[in-house]
C-alpha cells in the first residue's frame, strides 16, 4: 500500500515537472536574455565612452557609436526572449538611463551631447520598447522589428557620420540640414541591413522587398521633423515590413 502511494506521488511529481518543463525553459531563456542584454548594452556604452574619450570624439560622434552598437541588441533579444514585457524592459530601462547620464559613471561622456541630441537618445529606446512589445507579443516575429531597428541603427548612424565627413552638397528639409552623401549612405546601408535581416532570419523574400524598405527608411529619415526619426524610421519600416512580408 505504501509502495503504491509512493509510486503515485512520484508519478504526480513527474507529470508536474513535464508541465513545468516548457515554462521553465521559457523563463530560463528570458532571464538569460535579460542578463546578456544588460551586459551587452553596458559593454557598448562603456567601450563607446572609452573610445570617444581616447580619440577626443564629439558628443554627436559618441551618440552615433552607441546608436549603431545598441541596434545589435535586437539580434540577441530575438534568440532568447519569449516574454514581450521582459524584452521591452531592457530598452525601457535605458529610457531612464539616457535621461540622467550624468549620474552614472559609465555614461559620463554622454554629458557632451546637447539637449537637442539627447532627445534622440530617449526616442531611440522608446521605439525599441514599442517594437519589443509588438514583435515579441502579438506579431510574434522579431524578424519584422529587425528591419526597422537595423535601418535606424546602421542606416541613420552611418549616414550621419558619412554626411559630416563627405557631405559637401547640403540642403535643408524642415529646417534640418541634410547632405547628398548622407542620404546615399542611408539608402545603401539600409539596403544592406534589410538584406542581412532577411538572410539572418531565413526569410524567403523577393529581392525587391529590401529595396522598398530601404527607400522607405530614407524617405522617413528625410521628411520626419523635430528629430523624431528615431521613432518614425524603426516603427515605420517595421510596419511596412509587416505589410509586405508577413
Domain that holds residue 108: 32-139
Average pLDDT value for the chain:
81
| One-character DSSP codes across 15-57 | HHHHHHHHHHHHHHHHHHHHHHHHHHHHHHHHHHHHHHHHHT-
Q: Which of 175, 178, 176, 148 is nearest to 162 (CA)?
A: 178
For the entire predicted model, the pTM comes to 0.83
Residue 218, all three cell numbers: 530614407
Q: Which three cell numbers stand for residue 46?
A: 562603456
70 contacts 114 by C-beta, under 8 angstroms: no
Asked whether residue 197 is domain-assigned, the answer is yes
Name the DSSP letter for residue 169.
S
- Grid coordinates given for 78: 530575438
- Same domain for 107 and 152, yes or no, is no
Last residue of a domain, one of 139, 171, 187: 139
Q: Do 102 and 175 share a domain, yes or no?
A: no
Answer whether residue 60 shows pLDDT above 90.
no
Confidence of residue 14 (pLDDT cuts 50, 70, 90): very low
Q: Quick check: is 205 in a domain?
A: yes
Last residue of a domain, one of 139, 169, 186: 139
151 and 241 housed in the same domain: yes
Q: Which long-range contacts (CB under 8 A, 24 or more apart) does 50-58 make?
A: 52/109, 53/109, 58/112
Give me the pLDDT at residue 119, please. Answer: 66
CA torsion sign, 76 to 191 to 60 to 229? negative
Sign of CA dihedral 139, 145, 147, 148: positive
Could you tell me where the beta strands, DSSP code E, fall in 100-187? Answer: 170-173, 176-179
pLDDT at position 118 = 54
Give the pLDDT score at 57: 76
Query: In this predicted model, what pLDDT tens digit does every residue of 158-213 receive, in sequence order?
Result: 888 887 777 677 767 766 677 888 889 999 999 999 999 999 999 999 999 999 99
* Residue 15 confidence (pLDDT): 46
**Final residue before a domain boundary, out of 139, 168, 189:** 139
Q: What is the pLDDT of residue 58?
A: 74
Same domain, 66 and 134: yes
Q: Pick the residue with more confidence: 220 or 63? A: 220
pLDDT given at position 181: 85
Amino acid at each position: 500500500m505504501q509502495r503504491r502511494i509512493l509510486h503515485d506521488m512520484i508519478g504526480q511529481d513527474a507529470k508536474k515537472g513535464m508541465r513545468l518543463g516548457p515554462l521553465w525553459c521559457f523563463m530560463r531563456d528570458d532571464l538569460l536574455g535579460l542578463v546578456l542584454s544588460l551586459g551587452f548594452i553596458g559593454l557598448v556604452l562603456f567601450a563607446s565612452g572609452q573610445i570617444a574619450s581616447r580619440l577626443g570624439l564629439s558628443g554627436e560622434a559618441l551618440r552615433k557609436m552607441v546608436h549603431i552598437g545598441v541596434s545589435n541588441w535586437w539580434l540577441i533579444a530575438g534568440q532568447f526572449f519569449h516574454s514581450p514585457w521582459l524584452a521591452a524592459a531592457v530598452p525601457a530601462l535605458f529610457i531612464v538611463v539616457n535621461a540622467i547620464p550624468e549620474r552614472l559613471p559609465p555614461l559620463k561622456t554622454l554629458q557632451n551631447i546637447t539637449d537637442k541630441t539627447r532627445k534622440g537618445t530617449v526616442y531611440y529606446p522608446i521605439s525599441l520598447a514599442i517594437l519589443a512589445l509588438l514583435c515579441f507579443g502579438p506579431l510574434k516575429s522579431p524578424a519584422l522589428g529587425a528591419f526597422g531597428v537595423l535601418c535606424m541603427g546602421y542606416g541613420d548612424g552611418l549616414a550621419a557620420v558619412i554626411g559630416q565627413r563627405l557631405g559637401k552638397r547640403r540642403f535643408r528639409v524642415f529646417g534640418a540640414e541634410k547632405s547628398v552623401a548622407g542620404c546615399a549612405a542611408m539608402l545603401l546601408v539600409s539596403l544592406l541591413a534589410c538584406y542581412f535581416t532577411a538572410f539572418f532570419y531565413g526569410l524567403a523574400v523577393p529581392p525587391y522587398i529590401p529595396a522598398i524598405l530601404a527607400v522607405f527608411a530614407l524617405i522617413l529619415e528625410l521628411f520626419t521633423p523635430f528629430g523624431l526619426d528615431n521613432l518614425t524610421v524603426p516603427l515605420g519600416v517595421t510596419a511596412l515590413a509587416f505589410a509586405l512580408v508577413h
